[in-house]
Amino acid sequence: MQVVFLGLPGAGKGTQAANITEDFGIPHIATGDMFRSAIAAETALGKEVRGYLDAGLLVPDELTIRVVSDRLQASDAKQGFLLDGFPRTQPQAVALDRILADLERPLTHVLYLEVAEEELLRRLTGRRVCKQCGASYHSKFNPPHVDNVCDRCGGELSTRPDDEPQAVAVRLRENMQRTEELVSFYTARGLLAKIDGEQPIGHVYDEIRWILRGERV
């Protein structure tokens, strides 16, 4: 199963991805997480992308496509994958088609989590993420069992630099039009499943599970 997760910043992609990878045994490939790890490890890639992430701007296509292409060659992606946050532009979508044609593993599902802008703002302002494993929490909507401690790995929680209001505004502006274009692109291909992302986390996941098991189209 080759799955793409589409959704604006804060739609719940990372939150839902954690359940999907556990239940369906496919790796979670999230460009944002890969870039943040590179920044934390101070690699050459990290130095190159840091300014874009902190400001909320998109990393240039060529670089992003190279990172994803390399990652999809890894052996764990041979049985399928969940791509979170890629593609985000039309050139990335076209490049993904080409990469997957070479691998002979075409996309099977594109899941679009639809959430209104006011709700995205509420979610991003209260978000806390695990420094160690990247799991997402929310001070009100999805708090960890123990204050400031990740339920999954015991890591410490922190606030993402790009969840500061100015960067949030840039991220929404950068992604709105492009996401709409990708929704049209994948609808035309008959791959898109639209999900009401404003439901409680468990309900959203129920729908995702139905779709991936072929019980809802």
Residues assigned a catalytic role: 13, 88, 127, 160, 171
Distance (Å, whole) CA 66 – CA 50: 17
Shortest CB 165 distance to Mg ion, Å = 18
Token pair, residue 164, equals 């500061």
Is residue 27 within the footprint of ligand AP5 (CB under 6 A)? no
Q: Residues 158-177: x/- map of binding to ligand AP5 (CB under 6 A)?
A: ----x--------x------
**Letter for the amino acid at 115?**
V
Q: In whole angstroms, how close is the CB of 78 to ligand AP5 at the nearest point?
A: 22
Cα–Cα distance between 84 and 74 in angstroms, integer? 17
The Cα angle at residue 59 between residues 58 and 64, in degrees rounded to 5: 125
Q: 61 CB contacts (<8 Å, ≥6 apart)?
A: 89, 91, 92, 95
Closest CB 61 distance from ligand AP5, rounded Å: 7
Residues lying near ligand AP5 in the complex (CB under 6 A)? 7, 9-15, 31-32, 35, 52-53, 56-59, 64, 85-86, 88, 92, 123, 126-127, 136-138, 141-142, 162, 171, 200-201, 204
